[in-house]
């Protein structure tokens, strides 16, 4: 009896969790989450840019072991792509079901394309 009760409870919990997938969030939640994603993304890009500037100053002073300008540019481009991706995914949360999934898939595809372009640029400039 306990075994079947545990199984039923586990099944109910799983169905509850699955029911929440691809469910649209309220406009207020989406706006809040999007704003947070934008702020986090701006901080990540600023950090990548700051690291690049620090590496450039160190290289100008002849310090060894700094990343190349091509590598720094790559890291900035990836930070921007990931920041844009976070915002896009949060905006997808306003949709539900298949529309939300398609939106997130498109955001993922854009991230992959942006990272591939960053890789291409890094290879060309090294």
Summarised one tens digit per residue, pLDDT across range 33-49 is: 999 999 999 999 999 99
pTM of the model: 0.79
Domain contains 97: yes
Domain count, the chain: 1
CA nearest neighbour of 85 among 27, 28, 44: 44
Kindly state whether residue 88 falls inside one of the protein's structural domains.
yes
Residue 6 lies in a domain: no
Kindly report, residue by residue over 59-75, the tens digit of the pLDDT. Answer: 999 998 889 999 999 99
Query: What span, in angstroms and rounded, lies between the C-alpha atoms of 34 and 90?
Result: 5
On whether residue 93 sits in a domain, the answer given is yes
Helix axes 97-125, 69-92, angle to 10 degrees: 170
Task: Say if 58 falls within a structural domain.
Answer: yes
Domain ranges, residue 64: 23-125
Domain annotation covers residue 121: yes
For residue 79, being part of any structural domain is answered with: yes
The answer to whether residue 63 is domain-embedded is: yes
Residues recorded for the chain: 126
């Amino acid at each position: 009896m306990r075994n079947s009760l545990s199984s039923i409870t586990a099944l109910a919990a799983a169905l509850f969790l699955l029911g929440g997938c691809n469910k649209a969030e309220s406009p207020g939640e989406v706006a809040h989450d999007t704003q947070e994603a934008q702020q986090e993304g701006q901080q990540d890009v600023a950090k990548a840019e700051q690291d690049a500037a620090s590496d450039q100053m160190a290289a100008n002073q002849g310090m060894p072991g700094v990343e190349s300008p091509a590598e720094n540019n790559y890291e900035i481009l990836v930070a921007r792509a990931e920041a844009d991706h976070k915002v896009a995914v949060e905006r997808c949360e306003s949709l539900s079901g298949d529309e939300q999934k398609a939106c997130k898939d498109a955001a993922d595809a854009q991230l992959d394309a942006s990272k591939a372009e960053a890789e291409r640029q890094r290879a060309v400039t090294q």
